[in-house]
Amino acid sequence: MSKKVLLSGIQPSGKPHIGNYFGMMKQLISQQNDNDVYFMIVDYHAMTSLKNSKIMKENIIAVLIDYLALGLDPKKSIVFKQSDVSEHTELAWIFDTITPMAYLERSVAYKDARDNGKDMNVGLFNYPLLMAADILLYDVDIVPVGQDQKQHIEIARDTAEKFNNTFGQTFKLPKEMIMEEVAVVPGTDGRKMSKSYGNTIPLFAEYEEIKSSVMSIVTDSSGGIPENVFAIHKLLRPEEELKKIYEEKAGKYKELKELLIEDLEKFIAPLREKRKEYEKDIDGALAILNAGGERAKAVASAKMKEVREKIGVDVY
Ligand code: ADP
Ligand code: TRP
Q: Using the atom order of ligand 1, give the atom closest to the CA of residue 147.
A: 16
List beta partners, residue 78: 38
Pair 305, 270 in one domain = no
Q: What is the pLDDT of residue 11?
A: 96
Pair 249, 175 in one domain = no
Pair 38, 166 in one domain = yes
Where residue 277 falls among pLDDT bands split at 50, 70, 90?
A: very high
| Residues 257 and 229 sit within 8 Å (Cβ to Cβ) | yes
Q: Using the atom order of ligand 2, give the atom closest to the CA of residue 127.
A: 1
Pair 169, 218 in one domain = no
Q: What is the pLDDT of residue 221?
A: 67
Pair 254, 291 in one domain = no
Where residue 118 falls among pLDDT bands split at 50, 70, 90?
A: confident
d(CA 260, ligand 2 centre) in Å: 30
List beta partners, residue 287: none
Pair 201, 272 in one domain = yes
Pair 171, 199 in one domain = no
Pair 204, 252 in one domain = yes
Q: What is the pLDDT of residue 110?
A: 86
| Domain annotation covers residue 189 | no
* End-to-end Cα separation, the chain, in angstroms: 41
Nearest Cα to Cα of residue 23 among 174, 203, 190, 152: 203
Structure confidence by residue, pLDDT tens digits, 83-114: 999 999 999 999 999 999 999 999 988 888 88
d(CA 7, ligand 2 centre) in Å: 9
| Domain annotation covers residue 190 | no
Q: What sign results for the dihedral spanned by CA atoms 290, 296, 298, 300?
A: negative
| Domain annotation covers residue 316 | no
| Domain annotation covers residue 34 | yes
Distance CA 167, CA 170 (A): 8
Domain span at residue 227 reads 195-277
| Domain annotation covers residue 21 | yes
| Residues 291 and 74 sit within 8 Å (Cβ to Cβ) | yes
| Model confidence at 282: pLDDT above 70 | yes
Write the DSSP assignment of 29-63 as a string of letters.
HHTTTTSEEEEEE-HHHHTTT---HHHHHHHHHHH
Helix (H) or strand (E) holding 91: helix 87-98
d(CA 315, ligand 2 centre) in Å: 34
Structure confidence by residue, pLDDT tens digits, 262-271: 999 999 999 9
| Domain annotation covers residue 291 | yes
Closest ligand by atom to 39 CA: 2
**Best of 39, 148, 151 for a ligand 1 pocket test (most atoms within 8 Å of beta carbon):** 148
User: Pick the residue with more confidence: 200 or 119?
Assistant: 200
Q: What is the pLDDT of residue 255?
A: 95
Q: Using the atom order of ligand 2, give the atom closest to the CA of residue 131.
A: 9
Mean pLDDT of the chain: 95
> What is the percent of the chain where pLDDT is above 90?
89
| Model confidence at 126: pLDDT above 80 | yes
Q: Using the atom order of ligand 2, give the atom closest to the CA of residue 152.
A: 1
| Domain annotation covers residue 188 | no
For 146, counting Cβ atoms within 10 Å of its Cβ (0-12 exposed, 13-18 middle, 19+ buried), the class is buried
Structure confidence by residue, pLDDT tens digits, 147-180: 999 999 999 999 999 999 999 999 999 999 999 9
| Residues 135 and 7 sit within 8 Å (Cβ to Cβ) | yes
Q: What is the pLDDT of residue 217?
A: 94
Q: What is the pLDDT of residue 100?
A: 97
DSSP SS3 for 5: strand
Distance CA 129, CA 94 (A): 9
CA angle 303–309–310, rounded 5-degree value: 90
| Residues 245 and 259 sit within 8 Å (Cβ to Cβ) | yes
Tallying the residues shown for the chain, one arrives at: 316
CATH number at residue 116: 3.40.50.620
Pair 86, 122 in one domain = yes
| Model confidence at 223: pLDDT above 80 | no
Pair 139, 242 in one domain = no
Alpha-carbon distances, residue 115 vs 46, 59, 199 (angstroms) = 19, 27, 21
List beta partners, residue 186: 192
Structurally, the chain folds into a number of domains equal to 2
Pair 102, 136 in one domain = yes
Pair 122, 239 in one domain = no
| Domain annotation covers residue 204 | yes
Pairing of strands 175-177, 142-144: parallel
Structure confidence by residue, pLDDT tens digits, 1-51: 789 999 999 999 889 999 999 999 999 999 999 999 999 999 999 999 999
Assess whether the C-beta atom of 142 lies below 6 angstroms from ligand 2: no
